[in-house]
Structure 1
Amino acid sequence: MDNKQKIIHRDIKSANILLSENWEAKIADFGLSRFHPINHTKSTIITNNVVGTRVYWDPEYERTGNLKKESDVYSFGVVLFEVLTGKLAYDSVYTNENEKGLAPIVQQHVKKGTITEMIDPNLKEENTFTLSKGPNQDSLNTFLLIGHRCLAEKQAERPTMKVVIKELVKALKFQETYKDNRRISLEEILNATQGFSDKNIIGKGGFGKVYGGEIIRANGPTPIAVKRLDRQFGQGEREFLIEVEVLFEYKHENIIGLVGYCDENGEKILVYEYASNGSLDRHLGDASITWTKRLKIGIDIATGLDFLHGGGYPVIHRDVKSANILLNDDWKAKITDFGLSMITPLNNEIDFVIDNVAGTPGYCDPLYIERGFLTRESDIGLQ
């Protein structure tokens, strides 16, 4: 600051960051801080008294006694990875492996390319029907890069805090605009479907009508399927957000692709990739569908379900049926309609959740109907 002495905090750590009621962070506890004299021309303060909390210590400061503002940068880098991992730097999961705690473990994972394994599992949990439950790839990459630079062994290799702020702001913007990049205006959808003309209807479901159309993208006209949700049929905010969340986060060749969505003027609209052969229920009993082709369709559906069930937070579809299987022009099957889906905490220790029964009569798992026990196997019975 102009006309004021610079301060090196010397004990930056999560315990010294206080949060107001609106989650604004404030640095506290300046008992170990050092003023940098105004007339001191060198950027380094040499001291034999290394203080602070060991797992946050700048390694060069610890080794040489050379104290610089970059020492705080290092400590802040440790805090950034505490924020990412959800664990304190001195958590036993780290100190049992290395007495210096989190920082050297981060360095090891960066070298091995496995740093994403350290992300707090809570960032991957379903976040009460919002459109953002965890970091998107661009935001995460930006965060990891600047966090790792803060942890450079040598003070001279660390960024300034101005650079750190710039990169963290960039990471925030990536996160905030991530799903906005998939927003499609109501005007564009009206143009694509000729104002939701009945001539463009290609399907109807329990939650509304599906229209065929075409939108213009950088690579030219793109055929789309537009599902316009009708609330009078029971499709609400919750189901809309769940479907958007699932299709954003769980991408696979046997899951229908989400081109975008519209949440404008009371409309809830989902825009999918176009599957030219429609839904499987329309082709049942079709003599032209050979046994080989039927087997391949079955394999595609099973592969899609295996992907959904096998993630860190498995998705149970809850409404697998022929009408929710779409077929593209080469008859590849894709699972669609995730409005009733549930992102679950299932793992090796928890193999079921209890929930209100949802789905289509005739396809529902009997155990799920009788007792409300929802498992991965509930979808398997549906298939």
Structure 2
Amino acid sequence: MFLKQPRPLAFGKMSFVVFILASAVSVAPLPADMDKGRRKVVHVLEDDTGAVIVQTAPGKVVTHRGGSITLPCRFHHEPENTDPDRIRIKWTKVTDALQFEDVFVALGRQQRVFGAYKGRVFLEQAGPGDASIIIQNVTLEDYGRFECEVTNDMEDDTGFVNLDLEGVVFPYYPREGRYKLNYHQGEDACKQQDAILASHSQLHKAWLEGLDWCNAGWLEDGSVQYPISHPRDQCGRKDNPAGVRNYGYRHKEEERYDAFCFTSKLNGKVYFLKRFKKVNYAEAMKACVRDGSAVAKVGQLYAAWKFQLLDRCEAGWLEDGSIRYPIVNPRSRCGGSQPGVRHLGFPDRKFRLYGVFCFRKNKDETAGGTETTKSPAESLTRMKSGNSIPMNATAVI
């Protein structure tokens, strides 16, 4: 994310600028733990036709699924007595290089919210020149880049804000085996497991935290990459440096790889169903239903490991027919020295060799988030996750 430098536009009698208070600005980088939550002074300079403006901006525009977040955007126009009813504020989501999805538009007192954002997006209305919006009940699909455009008659300017989510990246392949998914199948596979295709920045962050995976997978931009923390000959030569290996952009229909998925905080709870007997897949499904739940998805188990700190040294069925178990505190009898979600493959569904992990939604939550949607005037509570795990706890298998 970046600071949109204001450019005075002189058409007729008015000059007009927009500036974005985004999650990252052009200042010296700080460690992630120091940067988060800090406030920075941002100096925005106009040319000789304007003035010097000093503003403060939050350290990061980051939340988690189910949380609430402000996407900051402020504007200044001259002369100051410009009719506010003639100013249009428009927010769009950048879905591809040249594709945009309408989110919100306001012209004076008239406002409209579009699509999946209805009932969740509001103007912050923190005073004159404030074009910020609040997004409530944040979803995985909200992750990404937003554009703020402010227009007055023939004059306009834009800026961008990147919305980031706290979460976890995990590699995924189906029962059919590895390298079986084209891009669209990888996208669908992640959605079926309560996740989305990960971005490059999310995968890079996971690698910094210890993710090491020797199979290449699709990312949301159509590229194919894989993270290597411990170089070895079977993963692109032992003498190559550690890092995120990149195959570049591949043919989305014809080429096949695994997928790297991303998920965030749960709107519910994952738990291991205590039973005296082991169950097969069909019995596992019925057992969770009888307990008022459903068999957990892979993404839900990873989210529970990350945010609930779920630690269970006992393998169980998941919704896709795989057998996995989450380990936060490694011990020798539980699959090695690194924390992570262990994967035992896709056994015959008739085997009565395992338990089951169930997922139960929170009863007081809507499908979209953790609180009933309210307007900003109804004492909106901004939520921020305080959960953390060890730096290397993103390592898997």
Q: Structure 1-normalised TM-score?
A: 0.28
- Quick check: which one's helix share is greater? 1
Bigger relative contact order, structure 1 or 2, given CA contacts below 8 A and separation 6+? 2
Q: TM-score, normalised by structure 2?
A: 0.28
Name the one with the larger strand percent: 2
Which has the larger Rg?
1
